[in-house]
Structure 1
Amino acid sequence: MLSGSSSGLWLLFLCALGCVIAEEDKKVISTIGSTAELTCIYPQEKKFILNKLRVFWQIADGSKLCSVVHTFNSGHENQSEQCADFRNRTRLFQDKLENGIFSLLLLNVSLRDEHTYRCIVQKKDVVFRVIHNADVTLKVAANNSLPVLSEPTGNCPDIGEKVTLSCNYSQGYPEPNIYWINRTDNSSLHPSSLKIIQDNDGTYSVFSTLKIEPNSDIKVGCIIENELLQQNLTVLCKLLNIWQITGVCVCLHVYL
């Protein structure tokens, strides 16, 4: 791994060869454990000679002492300066480099991979010069589990008293939003309690409760919203009002 000083010298070396402002700035969304493709394409040239080509991928947001992600130098992969976090997790499309496709595959994505990455392409005429820059911001998300909606076990409360429903969700990222709704008329319901905590692995867990009167005509929904993925996970509970006969609370669950 590069030290802070050697990493800085590496960046200065690249700049000495011709740093320019990134010509592209894209955002990629990937989920934990998946493979992300960081796009870098230079279509202006039909054919590159690989031994006259350099491709550098590095972290561009200054958030790490070591910034080297992947290096292709004059026809060869050279990962001697690669940050330990990226070891054995990066791939170029070797068969597409000569066609100007310098995109990078990042395997087994984790939360610590959230960075802005820079692709720097150099071509040798007499000397190497920068011909292309592209910045790609990787945003990481997780929506690995379904919300769990549970009702009290055992006997229902007396007539006129309320039932407490619980909605729990774990391993979400970024911090999710939670909503309770009455699906009978799509009105919002105010939670009795709400707790959101960030776990040791960086993901979020949500714990919320809702107090309602048992009623066979109501469907209650707990919705977990992941804004980054633009995805909602919904679990419905239809309260069956058979407590008047059996004295037992029953909640019929449906996932959407």
Structure 2
Amino acid sequence: MERELWFRVLIFHTVTILIMLYSSAGNLDLTCSHQPIIALAGDDVILPCHLEPVTSAASWTVEWTKPGLDPEFVHVHEDGRLLHEIQNPSYYYRTRLFVDELEHGNVSMKIFKVKLSDEGTYRCSLPVVQEEVFVQLIVGSVSSPVVNMTSSTLGAVVLECKSKGWYPEPEVLWLDGEGNLLSAGPTETVRGPDDLYTVSSRVTVEKTDDNIFTCRVQQNKTNQTRETHIHVPDDSFTTPSSSSSPASIFVGSVVGIISIAVAVFAVWKWIRKKISTD
């Protein structure tokens, strides 16, 4: 009789605990960032996720996966440890959860030294409460542009802007000292084997009050902008550049040779005429 009573009490408590767990799980929300998370290659980034209301996830399995990856497991925390044996090799030693904050419902994941290949959609899931949420990560790469004066003619100067190592593909803008957009030629874009973009652009400018010009390279998706300013001396607009193209050198040489030949012929003709007169 006593054993039967003990068994009934045990069942009652077990059912009560299960009901409480089910009830609390039904009221739980796994909340992650609704906005894309943006990071630059080489930086560390946190994909934020937490439970509402605050509930301990210290004893639960926390899964971070990336759909489309094989294997898709980025970081799986179970029984107080990372299941390294099922983790995708590209994330070895580059991920962590905030273990001390799991009891406060923080199930965010940190990725160290972000790579371009890390970009994509991640899924955070808690199997015990059947909750999952997706987070988008955008990875960018930037560099400062270099501006040079390539040539000049009377009254105008040609400026060239070049910037390497961008991702995603950026756009190039030219501005004068007052921030007004300048009309430039089409941007030349080259994508390297590392998926990084190199962009270059040229613009012809005329003398202004300050002769200050700006090349701006920007990427709207990652909200990244880099720019370089250049001041063109006044005399650059009045003195043609000394650098000449091979074509101009050839033409100049031909003109010089012809001029010498004409001069020699004229002198020879004058001497011959003088001799015949004598």
When normalised by structure 1's length, the TM-score is: 0.74
Contact persistence 1:43–1:99 (CA under 8 A) = no
Matches within 5 A, 1:191-206: 191-206=184-199
| 1:225, distance to aligned residue in structure 2 (A) | 1.1
Alpha-carbon separation, structure 2, partners of 1:78 and 1:165: 55
Tell me the residue number matched to 1:44: 53
Decide which of 171, 175, 191 is 1:181's aligned counterpart.
Answer: 175
Contact persistence 2:207–2:237 (CA under 8 A) = no
Alpha-carbon separation, structure 2, partners of 1:236 and 1:221: 4
Alpha-carbon separation, structure 2, partners of 1:65 and 1:22: 25
Contact persistence 1:215–1:241 (CA under 8 A) = no
Contact persistence 1:54–1:73 (CA under 8 A) = yes
| 1:47, distance to aligned residue in structure 2 (A) | 3.3
Contact persistence 1:216–1:238 (CA under 8 A) = no
| 1:87, distance to aligned residue in structure 2 (A) | 1.0
Alpha-carbon separation, structure 2, partners of 1:35 and 1:244: 47
Q: Which amino acid aligns with 1:108?
A: K
Alignment partner of 1:148 is 2:153: no
Decide which of 106, 126, 146 is 1:121's aligned counterpart.
Answer: 126
User: Using CA pairs below 8 Å that are at least 6 residues apart, which structure has the higher relative contact order?
Assistant: 1
Share of identical aligned residues, percent? 26
Contact persistence 1:150–1:165 (CA under 8 A) = yes
Question: Which blocks of at least 5 consecutive residues in structure 2 are unaligned?
Answer: 1-28, 243-278
Tell me the residue number matched to 2:228: 235
Tell me the residue number matched to 1:253: none
Residues paired across the two proteins, number:
213
Residues 99 and 245 of structure 1: is their aligned pair in 2 closer, same or farther, counting only changes over 3 Å?
closer
Alpha-carbon separation, structure 2, partners of 1:165 and 1:247: 14
When normalised by structure 2's length, the TM-score is: 0.68
Alpha-carbon separation, structure 1, partners of 2:112 and 2:134: 19
Where 2:103 maps in the other structure, the secondary structure is helix
Decide which of 54, 65, 72 is 1:67's aligned counterpart.
Answer: 72
Alpha-carbon separation, structure 2, partners of 1:212 and 1:56: 57
Tell me the residue number matched to 2:65: 58
Alpha-carbon separation, structure 1, partners of 2:180 and 2:54: 57
Where 1:187 maps in the other structure, the secondary structure is coil
- Could you say which structure has the higher helix fraction? 2
- Could you say which structure has the higher strand fraction? 1
Residues 239 and 204 of structure 1: is their aligned pair in 2 closer, same or farther, counting only changes over 3 Å?
same
| 1:25, distance to aligned residue in structure 2 (A) | 5.5
Matches within 5 A, 1:1-256: 24=32, 26=34, 27-50=36-59, 53-60=60-67, 62=68, 64-122=69-127, 129-143=128-142, 145-152=143-150, 156-157=152-153, 159-160=154-155, 162-184=156-178, 186-214=179-207, 217-243=210-236
| 1:219, distance to aligned residue in structure 2 (A) | 2.3
| 1:142, distance to aligned residue in structure 2 (A) | 1.6
Alpha-carbon separation, structure 1, partners of 2:187 and 2:239: 31
Where 1:188 maps in the other structure, the secondary structure is coil
